[in-house]
Structure 1
């Protein structure tokens, strides 16, 4: 059974690509997440991955983020702070925690 996951693409005010994610990201839907990141990446712009609507992510989700770490920035739910920090993602790309 796949865990519910909503993915939506859009644009930032500066024209940069935006991927908004809601739900939980785990091994049952990480391939969809990985494909959405790959599809949303635009040369010359950092992709903003908005994880403020994500309450849980596992190592498969982290692997998807690490695969594109040089082309993205992350806005995250504070609940994800420890896993993003311990994984080292916060040292490799900009991660902002929403209030």
Structure 2
């Protein structure tokens, strides 16, 4: 059984493809991520803000597209991206900070 992973495609205001991911990325669903990245034209921003888990299968998919992806990653995932070397090949940003609650 595949681990839950939601991939929501969109286009940013500048025309760049955006994939917003939520859930866990592992061997059971990494092919779903691969298909989404292969289907997105040109440069792609991958928002990992709502990803709770990323294993080596998910990293391998991201590495295959490293030259054309930009990652938005929460603090929990940034050490994984750094140690794996993916942060050296792709731009990694922190998620935008939420504004103050009103």
Q: TM-score range by the shorter chain?
A: over 0.9
Confirm or deny that 1:10 pairs with 2:10: yes
Of 82, 85, 88, the match for 1:85? 82
For the 8 Å contact 1:55–1:77, the answer to whether it is kept is no
Provide, for residues 18-70 of structure 1, a one-character-per-residue CA deviation record: whole Å limited to 9, x for no partner.
01100000000001011111111x13xx2000100101100000000000111
Q: What corresponds to 1:63 in structure 2?
A: 60
Determine which structure has the larger helix proportion and give its number. 1
Unaligned runs of 5+ in 2: 98-102
Unaligned runs of 5+ in 1: none
Q: Please list every run of at least 4 consecutive aligned residues from structure 1 whose deviation after the TM superposition is greater than 3 angstroms.
A: none
Q: What corresponds to 2:47 in structure 1?
A: 50
Over the aligned positions, Cα root-mean-square deviation in angstroms equals 0.9
Tell me how many residue pairs correspond in the alignment: 96
- Deviation of 1:72 (Å): 0.8
| The structure with more radius of gyration | 2
Confirm or deny that 1:32 pairs with 2:32: yes
TM-score norm. by structure 2 comes to 0.90
For the 8 Å contact 1:52–1:76, the answer to whether it is kept is yes
- Deviation of 1:13 (Å): 1.4
TM-score norm. by structure 1 comes to 0.92
